[in-house]
Each structure stands twice: as C-alpha cells, then as structure tokens.
A = this chain, B = another copy of it.
Amino acid sequence: MISIGIVGYGNLAKGVECAIRQNPDMCLKAVFTRRDPASVKILTPDVPVCPLQDAQNWQGKIDVMILCGGSATDLPAMTPEFAKSFHVIDSFDTHANIPAHFAAVDTAAKESGHIALISLGWDPGLFSVNRLYASAILPQGKDYTFWGKGVSQGHSDAVRRIPGVVDCRQYTIPVADAMDRVRRGENPQLTTREKHTRYCYVVAEDGADKAAIENAIKTMPNYFADYDTTVEFITMEQMRAEHSGLPHGGSVIRSGSTGWNGENNQTIEYKLTLDSNPQFTASVLVACVRAAMRMYSRGITGCQTIFDIAPADLSLMSKEELLKTML
C-alpha cells in the first residue's frame, strides 16, 4: 500500500481524495491545511485533517505528498520545500515557468534522495505527452491544441473583478469549423480569434450598468480582447441551477504527411470530454503516484515529468497481464 498525504483541500484535493478510493494499492493518511483543521470536513472516514505546519511530523508515515496548491504562489515554494522530506506530485501549470520550477524541485529532490513528478494533469500532462508522441511519429506535421467546451476559472475570476459583477462563469469554446479544417489535414494558419470563442454568463448587481460591464469584458486585454466574446446576463438562481459544474476538455491534433514526397496525410487526435476538470486532473495525479514509487524503487530520484514515465509504470497490472490483455 502506498501512503498518501494531500496538501490543501480545494476542488483538486477533493478530486484526489475521490481518486485514491478508486485505486486499491493506495490509501489516504492525512490532509494538511492552512485553515483551522476543525473547520475542514473531508469525505474519507477516520483520516485526520492536520495543520500544514505539522506535515514534517509525518515523515516515515507518508510516502507521497500530493500538493494541491495553486501555480501562482503556492507550488513554486511548496513543491521544493516538501521534496526535502517526501516524494511529491504536483500539477504546476504555468507553462512558461516550468523550466525554473523543474530546476528548483530537481535540486531539492536530488539532495534529499526523493522523487518528484511535476506538471501533471491534462495540459500540461496528457496533452503534452500526446503532442510528444505525435510529433515523434509524424516529424513533418503541425500541432494544434483546442480547449473546451469548458469553464476557464482564470477568465471567470477576471470578470468577477469588474465592478457591478456578482458572479461569472466563462466558457471557452473551440471553433468547430477550425477543428474540421485541421482534422481534414488542411494545416491552416489560425489566429487566436479563429480558434476559440468565449461565452460569459454574468450575474450583475441590481441596478448595475450592464452595457458598461459587457464593454469592460469584451475589451479586457489578454483575457478577451483577441476573441469574439458573447456576454449573457442571468440570475443567481440560473447560475446555481445551470452552471455549478466544472466541465472542460479539448483536443490535441497533429496532422502530418508521410511518403517519399509527403503524398499521404495522417491525422492523430487526442480528445478529452470531462464532466469535472478538477476530478480528472486529480485522477492523472493519482495514477502517477504509482509510477513515482516504481521509478523510485529502481533508484530514480530528482524531478521527473510525464515524459519520463514508461506507461507500464502507471498500471496496476503486471507486465505479463499487460502483454496478454492490453497490447
């Protein structure tokens, strides 16, 4: 049995808790929180919720810490710090800062002789590994990543900061025609606007200037200005009834050519359709716990990514079973 600790208890952490329950070779030992532990009620019976600063006392009792903090401020400090005492898993997803995060975690994990797996989930994560497979197999080709239909938490938060806005749910929607062109192997050049549209459901304060809110959203640089955005005002009741979930998904498509003169088109598509983005991300993290322990048992320490995981290490099945039933 692999003993797991969870750091944090937001949506991702709750997903991790649920995923551990689906894997018979793992068990949850404790949840660590910055909040008052008495105020945090978890789902698993008889598992303690502990103050974050007590985590060090669990050395020897917990094999792997799954760090469920945010990428902006939590994980850059937390992952290297925890890697001094435990094997660690995170979902660090600020693409541009991955090399720096990798370096910091690698130093800490190598010094302490632990293994750390970072930037797991679906993007970065499964989408990344599919980009890698596809580009290695079709060297003459072009990659496209489409996201959605799904809720972007960052964009929803940005709208919530506009004066007069009570709540917002922002959906990122891939442009069907653009995806079809890519799938047909046309290898089109697509602008940001041509790939995705954005749809905002907004609850406004009573008496708020809705035209001003709509304009503030549509002209917001980085978040909305480069997209065709639709704003729809709804009531709080509608928001609760129709937009309480966190669905997401998307497709990584590579279209390439083979043959002596590149005469044949070949298309690889990897597509996710997720009712719950945080629970799916959590399921990837938990499967990678098993891989981390197997890699560590073969003497591997330091920082690793999904690119370094041999797929067999993710599975509960033995190599013999895999050959018989999966290959």
Interface residues of A (CB under 8 A from B): 15, 17-19, 21-23, 43, 95, 98-99, 102, 119, 124, 126, 128-133, 135-140, 183, 245, 258-260, 264-276, 279-280, 282-284, 287, 290, 305-312, 314-316, 319-320, 322-324, 326-327
A70 to chain B, nearest CB (A): 18
Closest 7 CB pairs of A and B: A264-B275, A136-B314, A307-B312, A258-B279, A264-B276, A267-B273, A269-B271
Chain B residue numbers with a CB within 8 Å of A271 are 268-271
B22 A139 Cβ-Cβ under 8 A:
yes
Residue of B18, B132, B266, B322 touching A280 (CB-CB under 8 A): B266
Are A18 and B307 within 8 A (Cβ)?
no
Report whether A280 and B258 are in contact in the complex, using a CB–CB cutoff of 8 Å.
yes
Contact (Cβ within 8 A) B266 A276 = yes
* Contact assessment for B310 and A322 in the assembled complex, using a CB-CB cutoff below 8 Å: no
B324 touches A99 (CB 8 A): yes
Assess the B284–A137 pair: CB atoms within 8 A: yes
- Where chain A touches its partner, the secondary structure class is helix
Give Cα A283 to B132, complex, Å.
14
Specify which of A136, A259, A264, A284 lies most central, judged by the most chain B CB atoms within 10 Å of its CB.
A136
Taken together as a complex, chains A and B put the C-alpha atoms of A23 and B133 apart, in Å, by 14
Chain B residues within 8 Å of A319, by CB:
307
Residues of B within 8 A of A316 (CB): 136, 139
User: By the criterion CB–CB under 8 Å, are B322 and A307 in contact?
Assistant: yes
Measured in the bound complex, the distance between the Cα atoms of B269 and A138 in whole Å is: 19
- Return A149 CB to nearest CB of chain B, in Å: 13
**Which chain B residues lie closer than 8 Å to A98 at the CB level?**
323-324, 327
State A95–B327 Cα separation when bound (angstroms): 7
A239 nearest CB across to chain B (Å) = 19
Q: How far is the CA of A326 from the CA of B130 in the complex (A)?
A: 9
